[in-house]
Structure 1
Amino acid sequence: MHPMVKPALRRAWRERQTVQFGVTPAHAVMVGPVDTATGALLELLDGTRGLPLLREEARAIGLPDGQADALVKRLTSAGLLDDPTAGGPAADALRARTGALDRLRPDMASLSVVHPEPGGAAARMAARRAMRVQVRGAGRVGATIAAVLSASGVGRVEVLDGGCTEPWDVAPGGLPPEAVGERRDTAARQLVRRRAPDRPPRAAESAAGSGTGEPGLSLVVAAPRDGLEAYAPDPAAAEGWIATGTPHLYAGVVEATGLVGPLVLPGGTACAGCLELGRADRDPGRARLLAQWRSGRRRNAVPACDVALATAVAGLTAAHALSFLDGELPASTGARWEASLPLLEWRSESVTPHLDCVCSASGKSEREHTSGFHPLHETMAG
């Protein structure tokens, strides 16, 4: 081990013997009492020394035997130490790709704050590289989501959509103006490739340990250009994902409202069918309205999709997707987040499994659905 105080956490002394690591309450940790000699040893925890050399340095500045090990143990348990050599073979392979690593350093610094164990950031970033995510939709929201996921180190980001790029599909983080007239799927593939920090791994590399030539989908993001399809998704469109146990996350903009979620864990959390059944229970006229909304759209009408709102939705969706891929359950799990212009106050609505839905999520406990399959666990085990 080469202990290193996590450089992403700003350090400040609250008073002479108490040091605070981190700025915000979500991640700040106070350590004390810290005497002058121990403070000097803290400065040496920069990842360039192994424990044997640190023990020698501690003795040289007058600390008793065992103090270096005690400090390392104490800071490790507080989630304050990283190890630039940890994370396993996949992390070592990532470190060897210096160009990609330089692009991803801010992301890894963020991961080091969120995940306390030494080497956790490198291990999760390496795991992202082996994952496969599919984005359904290449409009202002979907294309931007795909670009952000690719730039964040996800190894394979596929974008599915039809038709050709229209001028109103263009967005600052998504499809560029020069893509107008090109096939949407082709333009999206080029966008993903340009945003990637490195060449995507070969299929065989991504599927290592799976026994197949094609890695399974870690996540599907449904971000249709017509935001109604995300606001009121057709349960039939998700039948394949439910049957194969594929996690999927909805996102979009309808009229002047942006939405993120729910993230569906098949068999564990509420699905699109549960969402609509619950709404129908609360609103007897729901089915009639939905039929008219789906069939009554005027031809050649351009859906309302404010570019700033679309960009905000895409960023939040990508962040929720990455949180899930990294092993967490974001706030969109079994819930929908919405914000409407002009106030843009985000609000959440829980989506409850419905007894009449065929997805079988009803009755599952939090323990049951969170202890099962997760793409990070599968990737790191592989």
Structure 2
Amino acid sequence: MHPILKPALRRGWHDLNTVQFGITPAHAVVLGPVDTATGSFLTLLDGTRGVPLLREEAQRMGLPDGHVDALLERLSGAGLLDDATGGGRTGAELRKQTHAMDRLRPDHAALTVTTSEPAEAILKLTARRAMRVQVRGAGRVGAVIASVLTSAGVGHVDVRDGGCVEPWDVAPGGHPVEATGERRDVSARRVVRSMAPARPPRPDRRRSAPARLSEPDPEEPPLSLVIIAPRDGLAVHSPDPAAVEDLLEAGIPHLYAGVVEATGVVGPLVLPGGTGCAHCLLLGRADRDPTWPRLLAQWSSGPAGRQVQACDLGLATAVAGLAAAHGLAFLDGELPSSTGARWEAAAPGLDWHARPVWPHPQCPCGAGERGNGQEVSVDAVPHDTMAG
């Protein structure tokens, strides 16, 4: 181990014996009392020395035996310590890829802030490289989500959509102007490849092709997450349960994101059998408003669905960024606030607020059997079992 004080947390002294790591209340830690000699020793925790050498340095500085080990345990317990050489073989391989690591350095720094154990950040970063996410929809929102995910180190990002790129699909981080007229999926996949920090791990090509979605693709890892970002805003505001039957059957987590009539929507993140799904949402709305299915049928078949829809570029970009951030948090083993809830913001005020999506007792997804509003722990959805 080569201990290093997390560089992403800025350091400041309240007084001669009290030091604060970090600025924001969410992640700041105040440590004290810290004597003068220990304060000077902290400068040696820069990742260039192993623990034995640090012990020798401490002896030369007159610090008592055992002081280094106790200090490292104290710093580690406070979530302030990282390991500059941690992460095992995969961590070492990523560090050797200088270009890729330089691209991912800000993401790695952010992960050190949000994790507590030494080397946990590099482990999460390397885990992203082996994950596969599918984005369904490649308009102003979906194409940008795919671009952000691959830029953040997700190794396999697949984009699914039909039709050709229209002038109004073009967006910073998404389809470029020169892609107008090209197939949407082809353009989006080219953007994904161009934004990838490094090539993903090579797939195992020795197995036969799968017969259905629920079976692993021999040329790609199993799906960890599907993000549904339809170009038709109605399909995210009132999603069609039939469109995700394959995901529910296979137990694949999926997240909705999009813009409908100048309102941005992120969520819900659906954990099949654990949180409210699209069908739960539909049943709940029909309970509150019996005319809802009739309205939905009219909106789905009316001329508005064939027109250019209201999708402000700033709002679309904000939705894409928030959805990608929630997706990354989930891939890193957390449950973001969109789990079983929808975040919405309407222009021009853009006041984000959450609306719960309760499991419905009559929905065949089974989430209602767990009890309305029951929280789902991270342990209930281990990522190594999220197969597509």
Instruction: Map 1:244-323 to 2 at 5 A.
Output: 244-298=250-304, 300-323=306-329
Residue 363 of structure 2 corresponds to residue 357 of structure 1 = yes
- Residue 228 of structure 2 is matched in structure 1 by 222
Note if contact 2:203-2:218 (Cα within 8 Å) is conserved in structure 1. Answer: no
Please show how residues 8-87 of structure 1 align to structure 2 within 5 Å: 8-87=8-87
Pick from 336, 339, 348 the counterpart of residue 345 of structure 2: 339
Question: Paired residue for 2:95?
Answer: 95
Q: SS in structure 1 opposite 2:144?
A: helix
- The whole-number CA distance in structure 2 between the counterparts of 1:368 and 1:140 is 32
Please give the alpha-carbon distance, in whole angstroms, between the structure 1 residues aligned to 2:169 and 2:97: 34
> Aligned to 2:121, what secondary structure does the other structure show?
helix
User: Could you state the TM-score of these two structures normalised by the residue count of structure 1?
Assistant: 0.95
Match of residue 380 from structure 2: 372
DSSP 3-state at the match of 2:87: coil
Change over 3 Å in CA distance of 1:349–1:367 after alignment to 2: closer
In structure 1, C-alpha distance between the alignment counterparts of 2:217 and 2:234, rounded to whole Å: 39
How far apart are residue 300 of structure 1 and its match?
4.5
Cα 1:298–1:147 shift into 2, 3 Å? same
Deviations 1:278-327 (A, max 9, x none): 11111121111111111113474101110000000000000000000000
Q: Secondary structure at the match of 1:93?
A: helix
SS at 1:371 equivalent: helix
Q: Residue 325 of structure 1 corresponds to which residue in structure 2?
A: 331
Taking only the aligned residue pairs, the percentage that are identical comes to 63
Q: 1:330 to 1:51 in 2, by over 3 A?
A: same
Q: Which runs of 5+ in 1 are unaligned?
A: none
Structure 1 residue 98 displacement after superposition: 1.2
Q: Structure 1, residues 106-158: CA drift from partner, whole Å, max 9, x if none? A: 00000000011110111001000000000000000000000000100000000
Letter in 2 for 1:372: A
In the TM superposition, residue 367 of structure 1 has moved relative to its aligned partner by: 6.5
Distance, in Å, in 2 between the alignment partners of 1:254 and 1:367 is 28
Q: How many residues align?
A: 375
What CA RMSD, in Å, does the superposition of the two structures yield over aligned residues? 1.7
Superposition TM-score, scaled by structure 2 size: 0.94
Q: Deviations over 1:318-345 (max 9, x none)?
A: 0000000000000000000000000000
C-alpha distance in 1 between matches for 2:272 and 2:305: 35
- Report SS of the residue matched to 1:277: helix
Question: 2:241 pairs with 215, 225, 235, which one?
Answer: 235
The aligned counterpart of 2:105 is: 105
